[in-house]
Amino acid sequence: MSAYDELMAFQRDTEALSQVAGRLGWDQETMMPRGAAPQRGEEMAAMEGVLHARRTDPRMAEWLDRIDEAKLDEVGRANLRHIRRSFDRASKVPAALAARIARVTSEAQGTWAEARANDDFKAFVPTLTEVVALKREEGQALASGGNADVYDAMLADYEQGTTGAELEAMFGALRPELAALRGAVREAKAPPKLQGTFDESAQMKLTRQLARCFGYDMSHGRVDKAVHPFASGSGLDVRITTRTNDTDPFNCFYSTIHETGHGAYEQNINRDYLLTPLGGGVSMGVHESQSRIYENQLGRSRAFTGYLFGQMKDAFGDFGVADEDTFYRIVNRVSDGFIRTEADELQYNLHVLMRFDMERALVSHDLQVPDLEAAWNDRFEADFGFAVDKASNGVLQDVHWSVGLIGYFPTYSLGNVYAGCLNEAMRSAVPDLDDQLAKGDTTAATSWLRDNVQVHGGLYEPKEVITRACGKAPSEAPLVGYLKAKFSDLYGIS
């Protein structure tokens, strides 16, 4: 075997073990007994120790040194790029620190869930303080040996090739446009709200139908319920979750369509890349572009909501909405709310930009964990115009910081920017798309996304994926144009 063959055989086992670790996390969120959390923390720490040892195995350096990259094809070079990056990263983080982060963040999930249930941020402060301190330590280790910013080093885990300064500039251009459009919408007459109750078992039946409608392969996946919807796995085993609310079926349906975007991305990656570094989505920003374009530009379009209106009538009978146009306006209603994951398409990014600024401040010591709740409440009222009423609607609503995902939040808005670019290119390539969506046929859209984005997996760098698909570099302009056109039409804004 060549050095490359030996390296890839070793890497295949590492990738398989990583999938097992991911399955432990899926189980923790969906099936695990609540009292098992301390033991699961030990299990996760042990698995992370094994993975860290493999990622820093001295043989990795030997294989990397022996490989003649000039003799590799495009796929081989891409594999090597990912492996070398992972090896360099893992080598900078002490094994004891990696295991401690795994243990503390696993246990922190339970602490966060309890504090959230009790609306008691103070009870979570000691745990979150420890998590932030550990992640700062990790970020400092990753930034060592160069001039890298600590937050940029953390961001690279989710969006390689993007810096906090670049995002600040992009978001700085996006924020005033969103604020102005939001202000105009709030002055216009709002559509009605959905009324009534909707059987949860009927919601789950329809939500699975919607997942299949958007191309999710149930023979290689499943749909379960979780407090915080997510997708997990890649290749032949990709699982998604949703949640139900008997007075808000849209929460279930659009959570499912969103997670289907993530799941379809993983299912549609070239099978030749299975259990290799190329076998997963290339970045969280690109991943989020898929979930957001499925959910919003496709799922909330006037054409597709017409189809969904008929499906809901079949599932629930007469549910008090007169026609497809009214239903479209209800689905896209802009309304005040505290929860990021339930936010309408227009205001969603304002939630994310707030979190981006706050986590950068936490990393730089400009904001301390005990002061986080007050800072959150002040910023929220300034951005949204009303006060947070309780911690579960504010600083405790998201699981991300409790599990150490610092640097993750901005990829949500970056994904929206990417989705705006992809939507513009996709509609140019498929001019009759709305005619198909009106029939509940998403094939043209999902096939275009599969062929131009998803199939590549990790073959290209994130910005290159979007640039190749769209024919130009990503920009916030298409997203701004799309939102202005959509909501000006919905609310009669001139």
Catalytic residues: 259
- In sequence order, what are the residues at sequence separation of 6 or more whose Cβ sits closer than 8 angstroms to the Cβ of residue 449? 264, 290, 293, 422, 426
DSSP 8-state symbol, 360: H
Q: Which two tokens stand for residue 78?
A: 């891409």
* Long-range CB contact pairs, 61-64, < 8 A, 24+: 61/87, 62/3, 63/3, 63/4, 63/6, 63/7, 63/10, 64/7
Got the DSSP string for 136-148?
Answer: HHHHHHHHTTTT-
Residue 443 exposure: Cα atoms within 13 Å on the Cβ side:
3
- Backbone torsion region of residue 144, taken as left when φ is above 0, otherwise alpha when ψ lies between -120 and 50, otherwise beta: beta
Chain-centroid distance, C-alpha 262 = 8
Contacts 24+ apart (CB under 8 A), 149-157: 150/363, 150/364, 151/359, 151/360, 151/363, 151/364, 151/407, 154/363, 154/406, 154/407, 155/407, 155/410, 156/407, 157/89, 157/407
The torsion region of residue 238 among left (phi > 0), alpha (psi -120 to 50) and beta comes to beta
Counting every residue written for the chain, the total comes to 494
- Take residue 317 and report the two structure tokens written for it: 């009978």
Is the alpha carbon torsion for 100, 29, 294, 324 positive or negative?
A: negative
Query: Which three-class secondary structure state does DSSP give residue 402?
Result: helix
C-alpha closest to that of 325 among 341, 306, 342: 306
Cβ neighbours, 10 Å, residue 449: 27
What are the contacts of 194-200 at 24+ separation with CB within 8 A? 194/248, 194/249, 194/250, 194/319, 194/320, 194/321, 194/330, 195/320, 196/247, 196/319, 196/320, 197/246, 197/247, 198/246, 198/247, 198/249, 198/316, 198/319, 199/246, 199/316, 200/244, 200/246
Q: Which residues are part of a known binding site for Zn(2+)?
A: 258, 262, 288
Give the whole-angstrom CA distance, residue 377 versus residue 388: 6
Query: Helix, strand, coil: what percent of the chain each, to 5?
Result: 70, 5, 30
